[in-house]
Amino acid sequence: MSELKVQCFSISLDGFGAGPNQSLQSPLGEGGEGLHTWFFGTRTFQRMLGDESKGTDGPDEDFAARGFANIGAWILGRNMFGPVRGPWPDESWKGWWGEEPPYHVPVYVLTHHPRAPLEMKGGTTFYFVTDGIESALAQAKKAANGKDVRLGGGVATIHEYLKAGLVDEMHLAISPVVLGSGESLFAGVDLASLGFQCVEHVPTSAATHVVLRKNPR
């Protein structure tokens, strides 16, 4: 059955999914790059950059690859696509990832501002959804055609889906950095009450990978 999954979501050891003062120049926030060190070293990431000979194998790579396996569509919050709040600043903005984004499937972007679908190279089409998270999920699941839907973030969007009871699984990578402030994944969300338990725990020298599932058998 098609599930909604958060995958490869990196947080600091104090629970922040992005650092403070995010901006166009610093989309991950201050110190936020350190969250993704484990991912930057993987073969999966290096393949995205075009040279997989540079990447490493091992548990970090296994989780990176799992994050793209059996994914038929993505859902992104507004800020995962564009740099500012408010109306689209410029229709020429095509997201953070250049002409050929790493999704290769339909991507549903939550926003209050309508925009025509944006077809990119390599199979990625951005659809802009203005009628809410449940609509986005229904469209994404239909497009995924039995495969899973990956929820890319950010934290505010994950919170919305968590509180609505719509997330089935979360793979988090806890990185050995302190951010101190920013967007806390755990603030205001009671994962235990929502039914989540840790079902997998794979520590590496770069990050501690945990998989949380809702109401595991």
DSSP string for residues in the chain: ---EEEEEEEEETTSEEE-SS--SS-TT-TTGGGGGHHHHTBHHHHHHHT-GGG-B-SHHHHHHHHTTTTEEEEEE-HHHH-SSSSS-S-TT---TT-SS-S--SEEEEE-SS----EE-GGG-EEEEE-S-HHHHHHHHHHHHTTSEEEEEE-HHHHHHHHHTT---EEEEEEES----SSEESSTT--TTTTTEEEEEEEE-SS-EEEEEEES--
Which one, 4 or 179, has the nearer CB to a second copy? 179
Q: Is residue 190 a contact residue for a second copy (CB under 8 A)?
A: yes
Q: Is residue 208 a contact residue for a second copy (CB under 8 A)?
A: yes
Q: Is residue 21 a contact residue for a second copy (CB under 8 A)?
A: no
Q: Is residue 40 a contact residue for a second copy (CB under 8 A)?
A: no
Pick the binder of a second copy from 23, 56, 135, 181 (CB under 8 A): 181
Which one, 152 or 182, has the nearer CB to a second copy? 182
Q: Which of these segments, 50-58, 104-112, 125-133, 175-183, binds a second copy (CB under 8 A)?
A: 175-183
By CB under 8 A, name the binding residues for a second copy: 13-15, 31, 172, 174, 176-181, 184-187, 190-194, 196-198, 201, 203-205, 208, 210, 212
